[in-house]
Chains A and B, each alone.
Chain A
């Protein structure tokens, strides 16, 4: 599943929930946590449940961010949405494998009661505490429902007792650690949103840096950021062309019984082939077929 962009939508705002799937993001996140005032949590849950029930998007993946385990709303969040099979649940402030286990067990209980297949909905843990960063591998490998790791930079910097900056040096370690932990488990890693909606230059720089570290995509808090982030997390046409050449060269080498193959004057080794296959896989997801 390609998640170049994951667009946050406030869970109690009908206009955004209903139109969110036409804004070009690969995934939309219905937010029941920070974007909803404490005295409107009940209204948001019912609205999100009804949106899933009557208006579920077929255009993009639906993720629900639920309240953290230490904030007594998470069970009610799950009870409302799990019967309508959102693609993923994003638990806020995930800090341990035990957190994942508790949530997965409760999801299974609701699925059984609703008579739907257990495991219908995955989990995308939001890692945004210092403890969560340190236990990232444990979280990623905690349960088969876990679909990846998502880094939340805003809460993390508060937990680190430092200031969130445009350059993001303060979250460099966390970013690297999240990518390593996710990749070690064969999962994808997703980067924190760039929160200055007006600063498009900053968005580009931040996204390019995240991609260079190994992130597969990035959350966005504004529809205005979707197109830019999609483009920056997509392979460039020359990358796609090169990937096709690599795969064709390997196939030709096999036909000719060659042990080693070179392309454009350079040897093609296993990591190059693996990278080419990843790019071609993205091309298939972006265009639905081989357009070479």
Chain B
């Protein structure tokens, strides 16, 4: 899936994650998390797994995690990708 327009999903509420995607020449992923000291690796792994599942090869991806569980990060990533991307 290719990111063709700016899109966002999620919120900055506790246990949620706010994702922004926008078209970009290469893949750039920025992650901020309120639990980054403990779970940065896990959050990052989930973000990259979803990008791989949806075959996103380029785009600027910004992730602002407010302590979301894995299933929430997956859901918000998928929503943002579907909203901003097309096959």
Residues of chain A having any CB pair with chain B under 8 Å: 13-15, 18, 42-43, 46-47, 49-51, 53-55
Contacts and interface: CB of A to CB of B under 8 A. Distances in A.
Contacts of B60: none
B62 to A, nearest CB: 17
A110 B20 CA distance: 32
B75 A15 contact: no
Interface of B: 9-10, 13-16, 68-72, 74-76, 78-79, 82-83
Contact of A18 (B9, B13, B69, B79): B69
B75 A18 contact: no
Given A53-B71, A54-B70, A55-B71, 18 more contacts: A13-B13, A13-B16, A14-B15, A15-B13, A18-B69, A18-B71, A42-B82, A43-B9, A43-B76, A46-B78, A46-B79, A47-B72, A47-B75, A47-B79, A49-B75, A50-B72, A50-B75, A55-B69
29 contacts: A13-B16, A14-B15, A14-B68, A14-B69, A14-B72, A14-B75, A15-B13, A15-B14, A15-B15, A15-B16, A18-B15, A18-B69, A18-B72, A42-B82, A42-B83, A43-B10, A46-B75, A46-B78, A46-B79, A46-B82, A47-B72, A47-B75, A50-B71, A50-B72, A50-B78, A51-B71, A54-B70, A55-B69, A55-B71
Contacts of B69: 14, 18, 54-55
A119 B34 CA distance: 43
A14 B79 contact: no
